Amino acid sequence: MKKNRVKIASDGINNSVSILKARLFSEPNVVMGNNLRLLEALLFAAVEPIDTQTLRDRMHSDVDVSVLLAQLQKEYEGRGINLVRVAGAWRFQTSIDLQSNLVDLQEMPKKLSKAALETLAIIAYHQPVTRAEIEEVRGVAVSKGTVDVLMELKWVRLRGRRRTPGRPVTYGTTDGFLAHFNLEEISDLPGREDLRAAGLLDPRLPKDFEIPEPMITDDVNLDEEDLVSVDENQFFEDFLSES
């Protein structure tokens, strides 16, 4: 009789442990799945790439968004749509290997002139750079229209003013530039060896020819002044001088 009571008690404990284990393993998965669905919906609904902090603000405070992003990115690997990180933000986009199959569904952008492409490349690799510095690298004058086209595309922006006589404005690339060329950050631009392997470098270039390493940030450099504050101060001084 005593043995039966012990067996019943043991069976009851085992059942309780099994139920507890089932709850421990199922409930977090349900919560995790719901959070993953919410994250997926936020990314699909976003018109532009969305940064991690904005996603954190939209999710519950106890959710590890970085873990969910890694899981979602893994789940979309090898599919027609991938989760990618561009310009420090996240977006869903068509898989690169399928883009050629969708070419007739895309709006074909206007082809850039050689001058615009050269100017864009110089700005990307040398930023922050002034118009005079662009002309020095190209060896020819840069027309205002060329820069205007790049700014209309939102690939190039005014960064600041150089702390030199005349205080010329400096140019740099934008997050739109990174997003268009599928770059996570500007340092992901191809280096010398990458360009050589792709056949984009003239083999007659001297051995000591160097390609600058683009390592620019959004903040103005020591040799730059903030464009907005400088221009506002200048306007204020000019206005006072006329009164």
212 in the same domain as 132: yes
Classify residue 109: in a domain, yes or no: no
Domain count, the chain: 2
> What whole-number percentage of the chain has pLDDT above 70?
65
166 in the same domain as 81: no
Classify residue 149: in a domain, yes or no: yes
**CATH no. for residue 49?**
1.10.10.10
Question: Could you give the maximum distance between any two Cα atoms of the chain, in Å?
Answer: 109
Cα separation of 186 and 217, whole Å? 9
Classify residue 9: in a domain, yes or no: yes
To the nearest 10 degrees (0 to 180), the angle between helices 144-152 and 114-126 is 70
Domain boundary among 70, 102, 134: 102
Pairwise pLDDT comparison (24 vs 134), residue with the higher score = 134
125 in the same domain as 97: no
Alpha helices in the chain (DSSP H): 2-45, 52-58, 65-75, 114-126, 131-138, 144-152, 175-180, 192-197, 227-242
Model confidence pLDDT, tens digit, residues 188-223: 888 777 776 766 666 655 565 566 666 655 565 666
Q: Which domain holds residue 53?
A: 2-102
List Cα–Cα distances, 53 to 6, 65, 90, in angstroms: 56, 9, 11
Classify residue 52: in a domain, yes or no: yes
Q: With a threshold of 0.85, does the pTM exceed it?
A: no
Tracing tokens 């221009």 back to the chain, one arrives at 231
Model confidence pLDDT, tens digit, residues 1-31: 545 554 445 555 556 555 544 544 444 455 5
Model confidence pLDDT, tens digit, residues 49-58: 989 999 999 8
Q: What per-residue confidence (pLDDT) applies to 235?
A: 38
Model confidence pLDDT, tens digit, residues 32-66: 678 888 999 999 888 889 899 999 998 888 888 99
Range from 19-23, 103-107, 135-139, 147-151 carrying the lowest mean pLDDT: 19-23
Q: pLDDT category, 100, cuts 50, 70, 90?
A: confident
118 in the same domain as 77: no
